[in-house]
Amino acid sequence: MTQNEIVLVVSTSIIQEGKVLMIKENKATVRNKWNFPSGRVEKGEDILAAACREVKEETGLDVNLTHTTGIYNFISSTDHQVILFHFIAQIRGGFLNLQEEEIADSMWLNLSNLNRFKDEELRDAKVIRQILNAVKGDKLYPLELFQTKLS
């Protein structure tokens, strides 16, 4: 990656019964860090479709996106400039089946227990805490903000 390259990332909070699914990364650069199911948008891919694909690849779950918490611009723990699109989703099918090469563990975090993690346990602590606070505070925006991919 060159210094001027920007990485487009999607991540998703899967909400079920007042809890959000967190995954523990198993990739060498971020091993044992907690995060949301996430990954890079592939060239030519629709952002909403990318979010659903990443959830399926990492967790085995099929989801319906319901809202977004926003767009986040930051330098990641791996020193990349990231533009991250974060979504809220509900499970519509599939079974929790972690992709072991990338995901070491998962947990359902009660939204009332957001301070369970220390910053060093989270992949990008400031961003994750901002997202979790938005979810807990119901600061959500409609998906209609996202236009369909232009041909």
pLDDT at 4: 64
Rg, the chain, Cα only:
14
Give the domain ranges of the chain: 6-144
Q: What is the mean pLDDT of the chain?
A: 92
Average pLDDT over residues 121-127: 93
Residue-wise pLDDT for 48-74, tens only, equals 999 999 999 999 999 999 999 999 999
Tell whether the model's pLDDT for residue 3 goes beyond 70: no
* C-alpha to C-alpha distance for 81 and 8, rounded to whole angstroms: 9
Tell whether the model's pLDDT for residue 1 goes beyond 80: no
CATH fold label, 6-144? Nucleoside Triphosphate Pyrophosphohydrolase (3.90.79)
Tokens of 78: 């791996």
* C-alpha to C-alpha distance for 33 and 104, rounded to whole angstroms: 9
